[in-house]
Structure 1
Amino acid sequence: MLTDRQLLILQVTVDDFIQTAQPVGSRQLSKKEEMPYSPATIRNEMADLEDMGFLEKTHTSSGRVPSQKGYRYYVDNMLSPNQLSSSEIAKLQSVFAERRVESEQLIRQSAEILAELTNYTTILLGDDVQRHRVRKFSMVPLSSENAVAIIVTDNGHVQNKLVNIPVEVRMEELERMVEEINSHVVGSYLFELPTILQRVMQSLIHQSHSRLVEVFESLTAQVGSGSEQKVIYGGKMQLFNQPEFSDWQKARNLLEFMHQLEEHPRLIVPHSSGLSIRIGSENEMDSMEACSIITATYSFGEQQKGQIAIIGPTRMDYRRVISLLDYVTGDMSAELAKIFNSK
């Protein structure tokens, strides 16, 4: 159990290191307005905090810096809401003031504004395309052997799928197939298409359209892919301006993580919804040991969820980032609801 004096020294140490990125010494802390203790008293308490694992030294002659345990204690016990400035609020509100028809535009601009305000890298996972509903299906022949199937969703997303067309299939048969597919798929989710296409195929085969089997098989293989959750960055390279990432190995690790994220977006998704703060090794990825990730959840459409993640060094300004995320996720959820309800 930390004493009140130790709590104050730990909090001021973390706050100072967040602002300066420089190891904190006892004499430096004693000059703080809120610190009523002498350098000798502070030095002794900092040594005790180091023994308990809340602080650590970078090398023998330096001051001390927060450890991962220190940051975790700080985040869990010492954070209070940060008052956003009027200019910050105005900038955030500008994202939602423009008229839009596309949710992706809203998400992308939100990522950029958050990156600008925090000086960290922002990542947003857009909605899972497979949860969009089909607005229209069409097919445009390219040659005698293939065509492009075009699927437009209720969110304005367009998918183009190359489909093989056997030479014996007549144009009127293809048109009939498109008409039949449209009558069944409009209003359904994208992830439901393979099953629906199978039913339509069986129906047409019974109507002596067996030549269309190869077309359906090609089309089903194309639309049967998994989640297409988009990774949208704001300030992708901005984090490299932080002094921690002048270390080439840390910078390389961060680039490696971003590459992995493109292939596996759900790496940043926390185990539970709401606000999540993962510090250093809590990220369960060796490449992210020098980073903290704060993730918040926003909602859209029919009970769907997306994630906003801000990646910074472990000494990130947790209080300010959490306040910004809290503000943005509320407005974003409301604005996305408007967009989806207008479809």
Structure 2
Amino acid sequence: MLSAKKEVIVMLTERQLLILETIIQDYANVGQPIGSKKLQEQLPVHVSSATIRNEMAVLEQAGYIMKEHLSSGRVPSLSGYRYYIDNLVKPTKIDQSALEVIHSALANNFSKVDEIIAMSARLLSEMTDYTAISLKPGSKDVKLEGFRLVPLGSSQVMLIMVTNDGTVDSQVYNVPLGIHGDQLEAVVRLINEEVVGLPIEEVSARLQSNAPKLRNYLRESISLLDVFDNVLSRAFHQQVFVDGKKNLLNYLTSDNIEQFKSIYSFVDHSSSLGELLNTKRDFAVMIGDELADDNVLTDYSLISAKYHDGNNGEGLIAILGPTNMQYSKALGLIDALRSELSQRLSNYYRDFND
């Protein structure tokens, strides 16, 4: 697994690697800084407390662990997690009972693919207590074909959006006083010039970046942009299934309600979530500031994995949880689920085509 950001690699000894791995795993279990005495009890080899402190000093100097407040214990840094993920972590094979839970849940009689994808998100959330995301197969190929307006009278129009997969969505817009239909049509033409052909998860960001241009063209265009954004958001969420958003509350590092609102909004916003899920890797782990430029997800990690539906389609499943998650277990669970999901979808399409 590779990071989108390159870290300076420090060559560690076998003992230093073992200490780093133990600190990360113990911190995931107890959520408390790890001291040398605690490490001495947990290491599978006998090492003196003084030696452990020396090795911890090396790891701290390398930037892989750090002090938390005035505690003498250490916690992993983002660089430490990155090193661990890239070099040390190994997926844990899930036990038979967990595998049976997945198999049983996906064995239900589903009437459409969306129900299977939604179930995969629910399973991931319930089995990890994290926020789970499932991207429908082929979603990355869904592009905007265009918008158009249909007059509904003197004061209302309907905005209609069409995508290349045949999705049609609409919303009624109350036309402000003093704004004429030909002015709105001109704005829609301008918007179409900017966004037709783009993947739907990119359209909202493009519209917002061009908001000043549209504002100069029509003073009410910002309210119209909100309508566009609502339609786009609905279309995107027909492709993406999120479960367990409330679990984000469990891993806030402070009581800052504004931080929670920002995180919740990020996960709920189509363009932000689309960018977060935009990966070409079969398996990917992103941590902390790799997830967003504004540090809103500094204390979180995202594990994602692609799956195939047996019908030339490719989707993605992911979990968003705390940086100190149990990566081995999470990776093992996601790997098992994507395998079962691929098999279930293959069977669905085989039965559907027969």
Q: TM-score, normalised by structure 1?
A: 0.69
Number of the residue aligned with 2:180: none
Q: CA offset at residue 329 of structure 1? A: 1.0
SS in 1 for 2:105: helix
User: Equivalent residue for 1:325?
Assistant: 334
1:70 aligns with 2:80: yes
Q: Describe the SS at the equivalent of 1:13.
A: helix
Partner of 2:98: 88
Match for residue 321 of structure 2?
A: 312
Q: 2:288 aligns with which of 268, 273, 280?
A: 280
Counterpart selection for 1:241 from 243, 250, 259:
250
Q: CA 1:101 to 1:51, structure 2 compared with 1: closer, same or farther past 3 Å?
A: same
Alignment equivalent of 1:119, drawn from 124, 129, 136: 129
In the alignment, what sits opposite 1:29?
39
**Deviation string for 1:180-222 (max 9, x for gaps)?**
xxxxxxxxxxx9xxxxxxxxxxxxxxxxxxxxxxxxxxxxxx9
Alpha-carbon shift at residue 121 of structure 1 (Å): 0.7
CA contact (8 A) 1:270 1:295 kept: no
Indicate the structure (1 or 2) with the bigger Cα radius of gyration: 1
Partner in structure 2 of residue 268 of structure 1: 276
Q: CA, structure 1 residues 252+45, in 2 after alignment: closer, same or farther (shift >3 Å)?
A: farther
Q: Structure 1 residues 40 and 302 mapped into 2: Cα distance closer, same or farther (>3 Å)?
A: same
Cα deviations by residue, 1:152-186 (Å, 9 ceiling, x for unpaired): x99xx9856689xxxxxxxxxxxxxxxxxxxxxxx
Following superposition, the deviation at residue 269 of structure 1 comes to 2.0
Q: What root-mean-square deviation, in Å, do the aligned CA atoms of Structure 1 and Structure 2 show? A: 3.4
Q: Quick one: which of 28, 45, 63 aligns to 1:18?
A: 28
Distance 1:316 1:247 in 2: 21
Q: Give the unaligned 5+ runs of structure 1.
A: 133-141, 164-190, 192-221
Structure 2 unaligned regions, length at least 5? 1-10, 143-151, 173-196, 198-227
Shift of 1:128: 5.1
State the Cα distance separating 1:112 from its structure 2 match.
1.1
Q: Is residue 256 of structure 1 aligned with residue 265 of structure 2?
A: yes
Partner Cα separation in structure 2 for residue 131 and residue 75 of structure 1: 30
1:35-50, aligned counterparts within 5 Å? 35-50=45-60
Does the CA contact (< 8 Å) of 1:277 and 1:292 recur in 2? Answer: yes
Measure, in 2, the Cα distance between the counterparts of 1:129 and 1:322: 23
The percentage of counterpart residues that share the same residue type is: 33
Contact kept, 8 Å, 1:270 with 1:276, in 2: the verdict is no
Matched, 1:298 2:307: yes
Which residue identity does 1:110 align to in structure 2?
A: S
Q: Distance in 2 between matches of 1:18 and 1:291?
A: 13
- Judging changes above 3 Å, is the alpha-carbon distance between structure 1 residues 263 and 73 closer, same or farther for their aligned structure 2 residues? closer
Q: 1:245 to 1:302 in 2, by over 3 A?
A: farther
Superposed, 1:86-235 pairs within 5 Å as: 86-127=96-137, 228-230=235-237, 231-235=240-244
SS at match of 1:287: coil
Structure 2 distance, partners of 1:121, 1:340, is 28
Letter in 2 for 1:330: S
SS in structure 2 of the partner of residue 293 of structure 1: strand
Contact 1:23–1:65, Cα closer than 8 Å, also in 2 = yes
The letter of the residue matching 2:57 is A
Structure 1 pair 53/299, CA: closer, same or farther in 2 (3 Å)? same
Measured after TM superposition, the shift of residue 303 of structure 1 is 2.3
Please state how far the C-alpha of 1:246 moved relative to its aligned partner.
4.5
CA displacement at 1:248 relative to structure 2: 4.0
Q: Helix, strand or coil for the counterpart of 1:335?
A: helix
Partner of 1:53: 63
What SS is found at the alignment partner of 1:100? coil
Say whether the 8 Å CA contact 1:298–1:329 is kept in structure 2: yes
1:306 maps to a residue whose letter is: G
Aligned AA (1:279): I
Kept in 1, the 8 Å contact 2:286–2:303? The answer is yes
Q: Which residue identity does 1:16 align to in structure 2?
A: D
CA contact (8 A) 2:303 2:320 kept: yes
Distance 2:118 2:27 in 1: 31
Asked whether the 8 Å contact 1:95–1:106 carries over to 2, the reply is no
Q: Which moved more, 1:48-57 or 1:29-38?
A: 29-38
